[in-house]
Amino acid sequence: MTELLDLADRVLALAQDGEQLEVVAVKGTDTEIRVYEGDIESLTSSESQGVGIRVIADQRQGFAYCGSLDFDVLTETLTEARDNASFGTEDEFLGLAEPDGVKPVELDLFRDVNAVETTAKIDLALELEKAAKARDPRISIVESADYYDGFGESAFATTAGIRSTTKESTAYVSVSVIANEGDDTQDGFGYAIGRELSELDIDKAAADAAKRATQLLGAKQAPSERLTVVLDPYVAAQFTGIIAGTLSGERVLKGRSPFADRLGEMVADTKITLVDDPTDPRALTASATDGEGLATRRNLLIDAGELKSFVHNSYTARRAGTASTGSAVRGGFKSTPGVGTRAVSIQPGEISREDLIAGIDNGLLVTSVSGLHSGVNPTSGDFSTGASGLRIRNGELAEPIREVTIASTLQRMMLDVMAIADDTEWLPMSATGVTMSIADVTMSGS
Amino acid sequence: MIDEALAAKTISTALETGGDFAEVFVEDKRSSSAVLDDGKIEELTSGRDRGAGIRVVVGDTTGFAHTADLSESGLAEAARAAASAARGGGGGTNEVELTRQDAPRPSEIAVYPSDVPKVTKVELLKKADEAAREVGAAISQVSARYGDSRRQILVANSNGLLASDDQVKTLFSVGCVAMGDTGMQTGRESVGHTIGFELFDQYDVAEIARKAANRAITKLDAVAAPSGSMPVVVGPGGGGVLFHEACGHGLEADLVAKSASVFAGRKGEKVATDLVTLIDDGTMSAEWGAFAIDDEGRPAQANTLIEEGVLTDYMWDHLRAVKEGRPSSGNGRRQSYQHLPMVRMTNTYIANGPDKPEDIIAATEKGVYVAQLGGGQVNTTTGDFVFGMLEAYLIEDGKITSPLREGNLIGNGPEVLTRIDMLGDDFAMGSPGTCGKDGQGVPVGDGTPTLRVTALTVGGTAA
């Protein structure tokens, strides 16, 4: 840890007069195990590292990165970043984040995953494969059972006086199964995730995979109609992530958000309260500091349907005449800080999932979506995605459905939310999931 | 990169505790990009990634390790880590004699992007911004991106193979937002080839920008896409993504081997209409998915996957091919030295058919014409796939009419292949793409002439 911070400090020491520098240095190890039919198919054990350097000089910005911690390579990278800055457009709002006095929360995100014997990790993957196979006689193949763990540390330092380090671990298992019945084949996945091996619930991962695959056996395309859709937590989380993406200060400033100019207005049903809280240790994406080294904080974005706030990094905040919300995000060391939410949640409601479904006469429980990247436009708000799931008839789950799409617009869906259940799930993504129902969505089928 | 002797030595180290196969993959990749957004050159980024991935195969188990340290000791450490991951037994020494087995490059590089001054690249962005905004006052936002990369690789393995490649790619894309009474719409255009800066001798960035801007403006008048099953005509170039998703992934031997593909066990069978001949071709000159050797050192080749409707072969990488006792088809690819190779597509296309494109449209009473497809996704187990329509129109009485808002189309691969009833003679390649599989992205190309699918489900909201 100090090694990385020392290295970052050595680069900062090279700053020239009037030049702002930001250095992010990361280092990590990964173990990845895939088993198939009782044998190890592949085992990867790796170390990786890298440094990203951002230079701001004369109100211009440049960036360079390298997959190395070698100081000579870093000085070349700095030279390259400087050169890149000279071609940027002058922009008075460019600059590093200034310390704002908010103290980062203490988060304990590290367990020593490397202290666990590899054989124990292999055994876990084998156990998962077995458990998934044994779960249901209709499961014909366990396509893959994987174990993964990673340990990462990072150092962050800037000439504006921000210095921070992080250290965290992740461990997860995932399994993918194929179920057969008659002529029909369906697949399903399950996973478990935590900070270390002992937190992983193998049985739940196996059960989820089996359920996903078997509940869709015999699924058919349905005729087109407008109906109420119920989103499973895993699907709702993806929807929530897309909504949160439209509230990025950058999208708003650049005229790419359908919710720009709508602060203070009702943009959603009153049941929707949307919060981004990276300080919550239950979030796998929790982080005490943001991509510019500022403390992360709990941000209320939508309060009972009213749009309260966008999220900002220091650049978008300066341009918008407000303060950073501690929402700078970066995709590792290879890019400059962008803006986004990190751990966003729709606050749970008070009814159970069962009661929520029981209240629907004619609907579709969506258990899986596909093509979100190709069918959702976060600028126009057009929403169309492939879906599969189970019909809901008279408050009860009925026949399985596949090869349909569901479509509406993000703006309408927010206003058409009917109910939110109380079953919040923490998922391996930057949004939590909760069962929710949305009225008047078009299902396209045969 | 590393020299031949060190490559040989690293392979020997990897096999010192035994093993059936060892390979060292060295990569040195430099990339640079420049982004214009909101009227400003926001940033230029330069990056360098350099390292080696070493795999050791013992029986059915592959051990893999990678390192950014290309020194003799760094490589030896990674080789031992890979060997121990594969849990080799036995031991002994394995002397490897390497023989150069290079392949011709798909296209020569005229101008290396690294030799072009950054200011020239920045000027292209400004020119695109200007051209897009000139298209109309409705254009409210423009972003443009220039990117280039040079990826030098070297592969050596215990079968004595030694091969290298130098892959240069250049890309330019423009995205526009148009603002109208009914809200905002977006339009996009990108071009990319496995060539150097001479890309801009072939393409005018102002023209790329105008295409993107016009797409956004056209969509301001778009009506909601229809909902339900109907005939879909896909324009030239656009349909490649359809085949990539509808059957390309399902023809990858790793998925076939685990029966995770609806096309498993169907070799020799009629899977599509007679019109369909599907080819995956890594040698295709200058195309986005082209290379001299794949990431296992195998020369790129053209593989016919479906010939006049009959499934002729799957795509293969080294491991899957060895198991079947056949050669690899040159489809072993990986995102970087930090990844294991697997079966991937290269440039996947449908060869020309007999029909005139205008006849295909005229023969369609009511349906949807898709001029530009977005990305897609497939579930290879069920064959269900989706793809987005970025630019689409209604077809009414055999004529292209109203533009449509964005949406997804959904279909089932094996079914769709049997519903292709008209195929044009106007073959074109589509936009450069990145194909994602198992967490790894690799550059791919695709192409088709105009084609018609008799029934696909259009995922709009209109009745």
ipTM value: 0.90
Q: What is the pLDDT of residue B105?
A: 87
Question: How crowded is residue A347: how many other Cβ atoms within 10 Å of its Cβ?
Answer: 17
Do A434 and A423 touch, CB atoms closer than 8 A?
Answer: yes
Query: Are A209 and A326 in a shared domain?
Result: no
| Mean predicted confidence (pLDDT) in A329-346 | 95
- The answer to whether A83 faces chain B, any CB pair under 8 Å, is yes
Chain A contacts in chain B segment 244-273 (CB below 8 A): 258-260, 262
Among B4-8, B225-229, B257-261, the least confident range? B257-261
**The two structure tokens encoding residue B463:** 């009745």
Query: Are A108 and A165 in a shared domain?
Result: yes
| Mean predicted confidence (pLDDT) in B187-214 | 97
For residue A396, the surrounding DSSP H or E stretch is strand A396-409
Query: Are A211 and A244 in a shared domain?
Result: no
Counts for chain B of helices (H) and strands (E), in that order? 10, 23
Question: How crowded is residue A270: how many other Cβ atoms within 10 Å of its Cβ?
Answer: 11
Residue B365 has pLDDT above 70, yes or no: yes
- Which of B65, B227, B259 comes nearest A224 by C-beta? B227
DSSP string covering A313-382, please?
Answer: -HHHHHHHTS---S-EE-SGGGS--EE--SSEEEPP-SB-HHHHHHT-SEEEEEEEEE-HHHHB-TTT-E
Query: Are A81 and A164 in a shared domain?
Result: yes
* Residue B10 placed within a domain: no
| Mean predicted confidence (pLDDT) in B280-298 | 96
Query: How many CA atoms lie within 13 Å of A1's alpha carbon, on the beta-carbon side?
Result: 10
How big is the A-B interface in CB pairs under 8 Å? 252
Query: Confidence band (pLDDT; 50, 70, 90) for B90?
Result: low
What crossing angle do the helices spanning B205-219 and B118-134 adopt, rounded to 10°? 30
* Residue B129 placed within a domain: no
Is there a contact between B81 and A45 if contact means CB atoms under 8 Å apart?
yes
B40 contacts in A (CB within 8 Å)?
A: 88-89, 91
Considering chain B, what percentage of its residues have pLDDT values greater than 70? Answer: 98
Considering chain B, what percentage of its residues have pLDDT values greater than 90? Answer: 83
Question: How crowded is residue A265: how many other Cβ atoms within 10 Å of its Cβ?
Answer: 10
What tens digit of pLDDT does each residue of A12-50 get? 999 999 999 999 999 999 999 999 999 999 999 888 999
For the entire predicted model, the pTM comes to 0.93
* Residue B51 placed within a domain: no
**Interface mutation target, options B31, B33, B75, B381, chain A, most CBs of A under 10 Å:** B381
Query: Are A316 and A300 in a shared domain?
Result: yes
Q: Find all residues with CB under 8 Å of A443, minimum gap 6, and list them.
A: A222, A224, A225, A226, A227, A229, A364, A387, A404, A405, A406, B227
| Mean predicted confidence (pLDDT) in A352-378 | 94
Of B72, B65, B70, B27, nearest to B47 (Cα)?
B27
Do A384 and A407 touch, CB atoms closer than 8 A?
Answer: yes
* Residue B49 placed within a domain: no
| Mean predicted confidence (pLDDT) in A100-110 | 95
- The answer to whether A91 faces chain B, any CB pair under 8 Å, is yes
Residue A52 has pLDDT above 60, yes or no: yes
Residue B251 has pLDDT above 90, yes or no: yes
Q: What is the count of structural domains for chain B?
A: 1
**Residue ending a domain, choose from A215, A239, A256:** A215
Residue A115 has pLDDT above 70, yes or no: yes
Is there a contact between B405 and A141 if contact means CB atoms under 8 Å apart?
no
Residue B364 has pLDDT above 90, yes or no: yes
Query: Confidence band (pLDDT; 50, 70, 90) for A370?
Result: very high
Q: What is the pLDDT of residue A331?
A: 86
Residue A112 has pLDDT above 80, yes or no: yes
* Residue B115 placed within a domain: no
Residue numbers of the domain that contains A358: 219-446
Is there a contact between A444 and B85 if contact means CB atoms under 8 Å apart?
no
Residue B239 has pLDDT above 80, yes or no: no
Chain B contacts in chain A segment 414-443 (CB below 8 A): 442-443
**Interface mutation target, options B27, B35, B43, B60, chain A, most CBs of A under 10 Å:** B43
- The answer to whether B186 faces chain A, any CB pair under 8 Å, is yes
DSSP string covering B335-364, please?
Answer: SSTTS--EE---EEEE---SB-HHHHHHT-
Q: What is the pLDDT of residue B106?
A: 86
Backbone angles phi, psi at A420, to 5 degrees: -125, 130
Residue B463 has pLDDT above 90, yes or no: no
A178 contacts in B (CB within 8 Å)?
A: 259-260, 381
Q: What is the pLDDT of residue B88?
A: 58
Q: What is the count of structural domains for chain A?
A: 2
A406 contacts in B (CB within 8 Å)?
A: 459
Q: What is the pLDDT of residue B91?
A: 56
Residue A270's Cα: distance from chain center in Å?
25
* Residue B7 placed within a domain: no
Considering chain A, what percentage of its residues have pLDDT values greater than 70? Answer: 100
Q: What is the pLDDT of residue B462?
A: 87
B338 contacts in A (CB within 8 Å)?
A: 46, 48
Q: What is the pLDDT of residue A45?
A: 87
Query: Are A138 and A168 in a shared domain?
Result: yes
What tens digit of pLDDT does each residue of A179-216 get? 999 989 999 999 999 999 999 999 999 999 999 999 99
Query: Are A139 and A233 in a shared domain?
Result: no
* Residue B78 placed within a domain: no
Q: What is the pLDDT of residue A47?
A: 86
Pairing state between β A225-231 and A362-370: parallel
Q: Name A19's bridge partners.
A: A57
Residue numbers of the domain that contains B380: 227-459
Query: Are A259 and A396 in a shared domain?
Result: yes
* Residue B164 placed within a domain: no
Q: CA-nearest residue of chain A to B62? A: A42
Query: Confidence band (pLDDT; 50, 70, 90) for B99?
Result: confident
Q: What is the CATH number of the domain that holds A201?
A: 3.30.2290.10
Query: Are A236 and A359 in a shared domain?
Result: yes
Query: Are A158 and A53 in a shared domain?
Result: yes
Residue B23 has pLDDT above 60, yes or no: yes
Q: Find all residues with CB under 8 Å of A39, minimum gap 6, and list them.
A: B59, B60, B61
Query: Confidence band (pLDDT; 50, 70, 90) for B176?
Result: very high
Report how far residue B246's alpha carbon sits from residue B361's, in angstroms, rounded to the nearest whole number. Answer: 22
- Which of B259, B262, B410 comes nearest A405 by C-beta? B410
Q: What is the pLDDT of residue B92?
A: 56
Q: What is the pLDDT of residue B93?
A: 57
Q: What is the pLDDT of residue B332?
A: 98
Query: Are A391 and A262 in a shared domain?
Result: yes
Query: Are A304 and A241 in a shared domain?
Result: yes
**Residue ending a domain, choose from A182, A215, A248:** A215
Residue A419 has pLDDT above 70, yes or no: yes
Report how far residue A69's alpha carbon sits from residue B68's, in angstroms, rounded to the nearest whole number. Answer: 9
Mean pLDDT, chain A, integer: 95
**Residue ending a domain, choose from A172, A193, A215:** A215
DSSP string covering A234-281, please?
Answer: HHHHHHHHHHHHTTBHHHHHTT--TTTT-TTSB-S-TT--EEE-TT-T
